[in-house]
Amino acid sequence: MEKYLDTRLRIRELVRSAINRMSGNTVVEDPGIPLVSRGNGKYSKYMEDDNQSSSTTTTTNVMTSKFDNISYRLSRRKQLLRYRTIVVNFEFSFALLGIVLMLIETELFFQGVISKSSVASIVLKSCITLSTVFLLVAVVGYHVTGIQLCMTDNSLEDWRLAVTFPWTYLKILLELCVCIIHPIPGNITISAVDPDGKPKEVSIDAILSILMLLRVYLISKFMVVHSKLLTSTATQSLGALNKVKINSTFVFKALMSSMPGTILIVIMLAILVVNSWAMRTCEAYYHPDPKNSDFFNDMWMIAITFLTVGYGDIYPNSYCGRFVSVATGLMGVGTTALLVAVLAQKLEQSRAEKYVHNFVTRAQLDKERKIAAADTIKYVLQLWRMKKNNENNSRKRIRLHGKLLQAIAAMKEAKNEKASIGETAIGFIEIAKSVNDIVDVSESLQESQSELKMKMTEIDSTIKDLQTKMDAIYTAVVRR
């Protein structure tokens, strides 16, 4: 690297001296040399500053960025990717640990084993709080690693250049707000009014426990960093070249393209289980009822709400349960739309199937058209024979004339259907192929035209040479 820098500086000095010689000046001026002598008098105090600035300028010209070394960038990127994987593992572990502890504490409270003010409940909630603190630290570490990766990929020295204001800060703040939600140790209650209009003190643990399930979004992060296909160098390079981010959205779209049926089934089962537990939690906390506090009854309520049926045999009795029902209905509408799109895509014929179907249909239409043409000729001959033999059977003639018209109509219909099949068989691939063929033909025509121009130019030059020689011969003959 030092040899390369010395060579570059030497080339720069040679170019500068050559330019000065071309302009008639053989003295290379140094900007650090003052035009007026400042060694004495009032300019003496600036001499030290000029020397320092000159040395600083020289050092700045020699120094280069550490990102200019491609081996450093590759090793740095590999190290950051490994560190990001470790951070995501910690995120997923702490989030899963907090959810498991929350479920244990909630189920023990439902069974009457512990109360909100008992030591066991406080210990479990304290462990949830501790895991939440570690989760928040891991979230911050994940975003810091992402900023460092952006700096490495774009050769940025300052981290502020890798941050998009204010979207990056809002994204980090939103993720921290989602991960910080958890049941707080102790029994914290608030005043609320139930749907019957009765005021009462209710615990906020139900709402915090349900919102804590939003941490499941970390599963997508976990899948991204542990997928060998998505973390390979080829995938990352292709994504960077095409400006495609390999993130959770990309993973979801890829899974929906590769195995949409499995993903939709998993999504529906997850919605059924999670929302059933959320409905049971709401009803057990805010409106205790043996019917609505049963998990299987709540699962039936969520199922008929998800399918937008709503028989009315069971319904939520609390505002929290009603909110869960509305959310379930919206999820059901969205999942149904995805299911319809997937079914439409699966029922659509492939390109090979379309070709086979169109080929068979065309063959059948050709056969029907030939039969109709043969019938047309047959009925025309029969009518001609009746006219030739002077047969006066008007009923038979009318019947043959009707059959002739039917045969002609069948022949035209087969022709039109065949033409319509040919039009519908043309897709984007056929159009692209036709465009490529047209481009190839136009390029060949341009090449032929350029060759023709060259030949015409050669013919013109040859004619001029012949004319010159003929003039010379004519001049020589005239002189003689």
Residue among 110, 105, 169 at smallest CA distance from 131:
105
Q: Is the pLDDT at 27 greater than 80, yes or no? A: no
CB atoms < 10 A from the CB of 326, how many? 12
| Tens-place pLDDT, residues 145-165 | 999 988 888 888 888 888 888
Judged by average pLDDT, the poorest of 245-249, 278-282, 343-347 is 245-249
Q: Is the pLDDT at 250 greater than 70, yes or no? A: yes
Mean pLDDT (the chain) is 82
Q: Is the pLDDT at 229 greater than 80, yes or no? A: no
Q: What angle do CA 342, 345, 349 make, to 5 degrees?
A: 155
Beta-carbon contacts of 24 under 8 Å, excluding residues fewer than 6 positions away, are: none
Is the CB of residue 186 less than 8 Å from the CB of residue 273?
no
Alpha helices in 307-350 (DSSP H): 319-347
Distance CA 295, CA 272 (A): 11
Distance CA 361, CA 27 (A): 89
| Tens-place pLDDT, residues 28-60 | 343 333 334 444 444 444 444 444 444 444 444
Judged by average pLDDT, the poorest of 179-188, 318-327, 429-438 is 429-438
User: CA of 67: how far to CAs of 72, 150, 158, 306, in Å?
Assistant: 7, 12, 12, 53
Q: What angle do CA 306, 310, 314 make, to 5 degrees?
A: 105
Distance CA 71, CA 84 (A): 20
Q: Which two tokens stand for residue 279?
A: 């409905």
So what's the pLDDT on residue 53?
47
So what's the pLDDT on residue 20?
54
Task: Band the pLDDT of 181: cuts 50, 70, 90.
Answer: very high
SS3 203: strand
User: CA of 356: how far to CAs of 279, 343, 350, 352, 366, in Å?
Assistant: 52, 22, 10, 6, 15
Higher-confidence residue: 174 or 357?
174
DSSP-assigned letter for residue 39: S
| Tens-place pLDDT, residues 390-409 | 877 778 888 888 888 999 99
So what's the pLDDT on residue 121?
92
So what's the pLDDT on residue 37?
42
Distance CA 256, CA 345 (A): 11
Residues 187-194 have a mean pLDDT of 84
